[in-house]
Amino acid sequence: MPLEAPLAPVAERVSELNTRYRSHAATSVLEHALSDPQVGEIALVSSFGAESVVLLHMISIMDRTTPVLFIDTEMLFEETLQYQAELADTLGLADVRVIRPDREAIFAEDTDGLLHQRDPDACCALRKTRPLQQALRGFDAWITGRKRFQGAARETLDFFEDEVGERIKVNPLAHWAKADLQDYIDNNKLPRHPLVRQGYPSIGCRPCTTRVAPGEDERSGRWRGRDKEECGIHFVDGKLVRGPLVKGAA
């Protein structure tokens, strides 16, 4: 049996993939990402948050054996933990991996559980970013639920991104509007996160998520009152990853 050819550099593959699938629909982008050899070994990273059910449902139809990585920061809402377990069972997801922060690191860096008050960026790095990077070892690509309408930091998203030469990030829903998500959920009769109806359109960790008032941006309830918009999993060396970057660049 012949050996598979090694994958080309990430930047080359991202450019080629964006060109090839630029005019495709979200479901087509996701379906091809799961099977295109230029993407490689892939996992879906899901928060099981307010809109996560859309991609999780698509995956359950296309290939329910796709690894799904769920980061349990150990500061999530109880409703999120219950929703995660129930949704995984309902959709028949066969390979959900619950990722938790390193115990020794927690004891060393957040002994009182109040790091989120002193330094929310450090807390996100400890409980989310570092565990995810560890979990992604061995994967060539990962699927995210980011969308352009979610804010200025995301308004130029492509379907495929270069994560500093390490792996490909796939954003199948990049071009979807809020109404597209609602239509998909309604048409497929999918269960919503229980906190959505309570005024939480964007759901993160319990201490850093508040209700959103009518007319506010849907992410305004995340880290309210702080100059912070992202949890950090889309950052490398403190910089937001939004397009082809050169590995090792400053």
Q: Which residues contact 201 (CB under 8 A, 6 or more apart)?
A: 50, 212, 218, 221
Q: Give the closest residue to 146 by CA, choosing from 134, 131, 163.
A: 163
Question: Distance between CA 144 and CA 52 in Å, rounded?
Answer: 9
Q: Which residues contact 161 (CB under 8 A, 6 or more apart)?
A: 14, 168, 169, 170, 171, 241, 242, 243, 244
Q: Do the Cβ atoms of 182 and 189 come closer than 8 Å?
A: no
Show which residues are catalytic: 231
In this structure, what DSSP letter does residue 191 have? P
Q: Do the Cβ atoms of 154 and 148 come closer than 8 Å?
A: yes
3-class SS string, 130-143: HHHHHHCCCCCEEE
Q: Which residues contact 70 (CB under 8 A, 6 or more apart)?
A: 46, 47, 48, 84, 96, 97, 98, 99
